[in-house]
Amino acid sequence: MVDLANLRDPVVIAAFEGWNDAAEAATGAVDHLIDEWEAELVTAIDPEDYYDYQVNRPRVGLDEDGVRHLTWPTTRIYLARPDDTGRDVLLIRGVEPNMRWRAFSRELLEIVDESNAQLVVVLGALLADSPHTRPIPVSATSSDEELTAAWSLEPSTYEGPTGITGVFADLCTTLGVPAVSIWSAIPHYIAGTPCPKASLALLSKIEALLDMAMPEGDLPELARAWQRGADELSEEDPEVAEYVQSLEEQRDTADLPEATGEAIAAEFERYLKRRNKNHGD
């Protein structure tokens, strides 16, 4: 196993297949980082304790040499040492377990503790009434009060069923490891295929929050290809086109700035600054 004791200001980024991963956007983002950073496999969770193989079956395939091999469903931890970021990154890429979620999360957290990482970023993706013609909505929340205040995050207000992302993030916070959850909202009417546009949006949010460069690689081109395919679907089906237009109107209306007293005061303040600048004051 790779020595994790002397990493550079490490951060953890995690994503799991399954309920938390609409259109494979979250795992797609982590897979992209593993490839771009040529991350090294550190360890893998023993699947015997956590997976029901009748639900998540092992897969048989051929490697590059034509040798047949068996791949078990599990969660793997990779280490990336990108030269241009000044910090190391543990990448957790797995499958949502079928049982013993608390023990599974504790096992992952032991690895986080060994690395001395002071931040865990958990990625997720959900289906939403979002038009594909607009930027993918991305939200970031945390239950850690200091992190919420430092990054001006919204406290998590969600109530209802949760996945392994919620359980893992909650255990991190409970045991004193700051965790932030970043979610992208996938257009539900076109969620049957992977959505690189959403993966790219998640990476952009990570980059903004951590002030840490994320490699884009071929994701922008893949996102444009996805956009073209979604546009073609909309153009070919009048009902889909009408529905997309209604979502666009809802989204554009929701994005309009509210004419509140605070908004008006802020705009007036910006006007005064522009005025003073123009007059050389």
What is residue 24's predicted lDDT score, i.e. its pLDDT? 96
Whether residues 47 and 163 fall in one domain: yes
Whether residues 196 and 95 fall in one domain: yes
Q: pLDDT grade, residue 158 (50/70/90)?
A: confident
Whether residues 143 and 75 fall in one domain: yes
What is residue 1's predicted lDDT score, i.e. its pLDDT? 62
Structure tokens at 166: 């919620």
**203 or 3, higher pLDDT:** 203
Specify if 147 maps to a domain. yes
Any idea what DSSP says for residue 53?
A: T
Buried b (16+ CB within 10 A) or exposed e, 239-265: eeeeebeebeeebeeeeeeeeeeeeee
Whether residues 72 and 150 fall in one domain: yes
Whether residues 221 and 249 fall in one domain: no
Give the integer Cα–Cα distance in Å for 194 and 29. Answer: 11
What is residue 66's predicted lDDT score, i.e. its pLDDT? 87
Whole-number average pLDDT of the chain = 89
Domain that holds residue 266: 241-277
Q: Where are the alpha helices (DSSP H) in 121-279?
A: 145-150, 164-174, 196-210, 219-236, 238-255, 261-278
Specify if 4 maps to a domain. no
Whether residues 247 and 224 fall in one domain: no
- The DSSP bridge partners found for residue 17 are 95
> Cβ of 42: how many Cβ atoms within 10 Å?
19
Any idea what DSSP says for residue 138?
A: E
Whether residues 130 and 23 fall in one domain: yes
Structure tokens at 20: 């938390």
Which burial class, exposed, middle or buried, applies to 193 when counting CB atoms under 10 A from its CB (0-12, 13-18, 19+)? exposed
Can you tell me whether residue 133 is helix, strand or coil? coil
Give the integer Cα–Cα distance in Å for 104 and 125. Answer: 21
Structure tokens at 222: 């893949």
Q: pLDDT grade, residue 259 (50/70/90)?
A: very low
147: left (phi over 0), alpha (psi -120 to 50) or beta: alpha
Model confidence at 18: pLDDT above 80: yes
pLDDT digits (tens, 9 = 90+) for 92-131: 999 999 999 999 999 999 999 999 998 999 999 999 988 9
Q: pLDDT grade, residue 257 (50/70/90)?
A: low
**62 or 259, higher pLDDT:** 62
Whether residues 232 and 247 fall in one domain: no
Specify if 232 maps to a domain. yes
Do residues 209 and 151 make contact, with C-beta atoms less than 8 angstroms apart?
A: yes
Dihedral (CA of 124, 216, 205, 193) sign: negative
Q: pLDDT grade, residue 258 (50/70/90)?
A: low
Q: How many domains does the chain have?
A: 2
Which burial class, exposed, middle or buried, applies to 227 when counting CB atoms under 10 A from its CB (0-12, 13-18, 19+)? middle
What is residue 256's predicted lDDT score, i.e. its pLDDT? 58
pLDDT digits (tens, 9 = 90+) for 182-214: 999 999 988 888 999 999 999 999 999 999 999
Whether residues 36 and 109 fall in one domain: yes
CA angle, residues 234, 237, 241, in degrees to nearest 5: 45
What is residue 144's predicted lDDT score, i.e. its pLDDT? 87
